[in-house]
Amino acid sequence: MAGELMALEAMERYSPLGPDFLTWLCIRIIEGEMPTLDNIPLEFTIKGPITLEGSGGEATKVTLAGEEAPGSPEFCSALSEGKKLIRARLVLVEGADEYEFTLNGETFDFGSVKIPVPKVPDLDQYLSDRVAAFQHLAEIIDRLYEAWLPLRLTPDEWKKETAAWRRLGKRLNQNG
């Protein structure tokens, strides 16, 4: 029982980190400022649907669908209001490999994952390659999270970062 309670307490205490991370990642994608891992550039794009959620007010959650969702006036308004991404459909290109997946920022679950797997005649090898490709995708997201965490744990820097999101949302909304 004590282990379950500790896990519940941790989930409640750290649950905002997932949406913070996903919002940070998507803002980096929009601004074209993606970090590299092992000097290998990562090319991300955001597709719809995306879901944003605020901490209060009348409309706390908004879901936007379609290829243009990340640049839409609704997305910009949600950002400028301080809403954070809780779910996004992403495409990651790493070298010749392309991964497409939905990332749930609240649980860090992956959904509807399309992974690069070469065609091989052996079923066991095919399944092994799929598992390895999925593990590689999860490792990339984990490493991006590890790169992001020091920013999130520095209160002054994090406050500047979130203020920049709101300004970006307002700027994009004015230009769109």
> Would residue 115 count as lying in a domain?
yes
The pTM for the full model equals 0.84
Residue 104's domain comprises 16-171
Helix axes 123-152, 17-31, angle to 10 degrees: 100
* 32-41, 47-56, 146-155: range with lowest mean pLDDT: 32-41
> Would residue 147 count as lying in a domain?
yes
Q: How many domains does the chain have?
A: 1
Q: Mean pLDDT throughout 158-165?
A: 87
User: Measured between alpha carbons, how far is 53 from 61 in angstroms, rounded to an integer?
Assistant: 4
> Would residue 134 count as lying in a domain?
yes
User: How much is the pLDDT for 173?
Assistant: 60
Length of the chain (residues): 176
Question: How far, in whole angstroms, is CA 164 from its chain's centroid?
Answer: 17
User: Measured between alpha carbons, how far is 34 from 83 in angstroms, rounded to an integer?
Assistant: 21
Which is it for strands 84-94 and 61-64: parallel, antiparallel or unpaired? unpaired
User: How much is the pLDDT for 168?
Assistant: 73
Query: Above 90 in pLDDT, residue 131?
Result: yes
